Protein backbone atom coordinates (compact mmCIF):
# COMPACT_ATOMS: atom_id res chain seq x y z
CA UNK A 1 0.00 0.00 0.00
CA UNK A 2 2.60 2.53 1.06
CA UNK A 3 5.38 1.68 -1.37
CA UNK A 4 7.56 4.69 -2.07
CA UNK A 5 7.02 6.49 1.25
CA UNK A 6 10.08 6.98 3.45
CA UNK A 7 9.64 6.49 7.17
CA UNK A 8 12.39 7.92 9.40
CA UNK A 9 13.05 6.10 12.65
CA UNK A 10 15.12 7.85 15.31
CA UNK A 11 16.16 5.76 18.30
CA UNK A 12 19.49 5.44 20.09
CA UNK A 13 18.79 1.74 20.77
CA UNK A 14 20.17 -0.08 17.72
CA UNK A 15 18.07 -3.19 18.39
CA UNK A 16 14.79 -1.26 18.59
CA UNK A 17 15.61 0.83 15.52
CA UNK A 18 16.61 -2.23 13.47
CA UNK A 19 13.65 -4.31 14.63
CA UNK A 20 11.13 -1.66 13.61
CA UNK A 21 13.01 -0.94 10.39
CA UNK A 22 13.09 -4.62 9.42
CA UNK A 23 9.40 -5.05 10.15
CA UNK A 24 8.45 -2.01 8.06
CA UNK A 25 10.69 -3.11 5.19
CA UNK A 26 9.00 -6.52 5.26
CA UNK A 27 5.68 -4.83 4.42
CA UNK A 28 7.17 -2.72 1.62
CA UNK A 29 7.93 0.55 3.36
CA UNK A 30 11.12 2.49 2.74
CA UNK A 31 12.89 3.16 6.02
CA UNK A 32 15.85 5.29 7.05
CA UNK A 33 17.15 4.95 10.59
CA UNK A 34 19.11 7.37 12.73
CA UNK A 35 20.76 6.79 16.10
CA UNK A 36 20.40 10.42 17.21
CA UNK A 37 18.13 13.39 16.61
CA UNK A 38 21.14 15.38 15.43
CA UNK A 39 21.93 12.83 12.68
CA UNK A 40 18.32 12.96 11.56
CA UNK A 41 18.37 16.76 11.41
CA UNK A 42 21.57 16.77 9.34
CA UNK A 43 20.04 14.44 6.74
CA UNK A 44 18.15 15.68 3.69
CA UNK A 45 15.89 12.62 4.04
CA UNK A 46 13.76 14.31 6.69
CA UNK A 47 12.61 17.02 4.27
CA UNK A 48 10.69 14.46 2.19
CA UNK A 49 9.78 11.93 4.89
CA UNK A 50 6.20 10.68 5.04
CA UNK A 51 6.47 10.09 8.78
CA UNK A 52 8.98 10.29 11.62
CA UNK A 53 9.02 7.84 14.51
CA UNK A 54 11.23 8.97 17.37
CA UNK A 55 12.19 7.77 20.80
CA UNK A 56 11.44 10.28 23.52
CA UNK A 57 14.56 9.73 25.65
CA UNK A 58 17.88 9.84 23.81
CA UNK A 59 21.32 11.25 24.59
CA UNK A 60 21.63 14.80 23.31
CA UNK A 61 18.43 16.13 21.82
CA UNK A 62 15.36 14.13 22.85
CA UNK A 63 12.40 13.25 20.63
CA UNK A 64 10.31 16.26 21.63
CA UNK A 65 13.30 18.52 21.05
CA UNK A 66 13.62 16.98 17.59
CA UNK A 67 9.96 17.67 16.89
CA UNK A 68 10.31 21.29 18.10
CA UNK A 69 13.38 21.82 15.89
CA UNK A 70 11.64 20.39 12.83
CA UNK A 71 8.72 22.75 13.37
CA UNK A 72 11.13 25.66 13.84
CA UNK A 73 12.69 24.76 10.47
CA UNK A 74 9.27 24.59 8.82
CA UNK A 75 9.38 20.81 8.37
CA UNK A 76 5.85 19.60 9.11
CA UNK A 77 6.23 15.82 9.06
CA UNK A 78 3.84 13.67 11.11
CA UNK A 79 5.68 12.53 14.25
CA UNK A 80 5.02 9.46 16.38
CA UNK A 81 6.77 9.52 19.75
CA UNK A 82 7.80 6.25 21.44
CA UNK A 83 8.89 5.88 25.04
CA UNK A 84 9.43 3.32 27.76
CA UNK A 85 9.14 6.08 30.38
CA UNK A 86 5.91 7.95 29.77
CA UNK A 87 4.84 10.95 31.83
CA UNK A 88 1.71 13.12 31.66
CA UNK A 89 3.98 16.09 30.88
CA UNK A 90 5.53 14.30 27.88
CA UNK A 91 2.06 13.38 26.57
CA UNK A 92 0.91 16.97 26.98
CA UNK A 93 3.95 18.41 25.20
CA UNK A 94 3.66 15.88 22.37
CA UNK A 95 -0.01 16.87 21.91
CA UNK A 96 0.92 20.57 22.06
CA UNK A 97 3.50 20.03 19.30
CA UNK A 98 0.92 18.20 17.19
CA UNK A 99 2.37 14.70 17.40
CA UNK A 100 0.43 12.19 15.31
CA UNK A 101 0.87 9.52 17.97
CA UNK A 102 2.40 8.60 21.30
CA UNK A 103 3.15 4.92 21.93
CA UNK A 104 4.73 3.10 24.82
CA UNK A 105 7.58 0.62 24.57
CA UNK A 106 7.80 -2.22 24.11
CA UNK A 107 6.14 -1.19 20.86
CA UNK A 108 3.82 -3.62 19.11
CA UNK A 109 4.99 -3.31 15.48
CA UNK A 110 1.48 -4.03 14.16
CA UNK A 111 0.04 -1.12 16.18
CA UNK A 112 2.87 1.14 14.99
CA UNK A 113 2.20 0.05 11.40
CA UNK A 114 -1.50 0.87 11.80
CA UNK A 115 -0.53 4.38 12.97
CA UNK A 116 1.82 4.85 10.02
CA UNK A 117 -0.74 3.53 7.51
CA UNK A 118 -3.32 5.97 8.89
CA UNK A 119 -0.86 8.84 8.45
CA UNK A 120 -0.05 7.73 4.88
CA UNK A 121 -3.75 7.37 3.98
CA UNK A 122 -4.51 10.83 5.35
CA UNK A 123 -1.58 12.34 3.44
CA UNK A 124 -2.72 10.62 0.25
CA UNK A 125 -6.30 11.81 0.69
CA UNK A 126 -5.10 15.34 1.44
CA UNK A 127 -2.91 15.33 -1.69
CA UNK A 128 -5.96 14.40 -3.81
CA UNK A 129 -8.19 17.15 -2.39
CA UNK A 130 -8.82 20.05 -4.75
CA UNK A 131 -7.83 23.50 -3.56
CA UNK A 132 -10.45 25.23 -1.49
CA UNK A 133 -12.55 27.86 -3.28
CA UNK A 134 -11.00 31.27 -3.17
CA UNK A 135 -7.44 30.10 -2.56
CA UNK A 136 -6.32 30.85 -6.12
CA UNK A 137 -6.21 34.62 -6.27
Here the CATH number for the domain that contains residue 46 is 3.40.50.2300
Per-run averaged pLDDT (10 residues), the chain, 137 residues: 73 97 96 98 92 97 98 96 95 96 94 94 78 48
Determine whether 10 is exposed, middle or buried from the number of CB atoms within 10 Å of its CB (0-12, 13-18, 19+).
buried
Q: Is residue 59 part of a domain?
A: yes
Number of domains in the chain: 1
Residue 66, domain extent:
6-123
Amino acid sequence: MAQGHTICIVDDDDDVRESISSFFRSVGLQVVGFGTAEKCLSSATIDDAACLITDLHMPGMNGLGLHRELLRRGVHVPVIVMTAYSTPEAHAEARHLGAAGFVEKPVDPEILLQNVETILREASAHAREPDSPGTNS
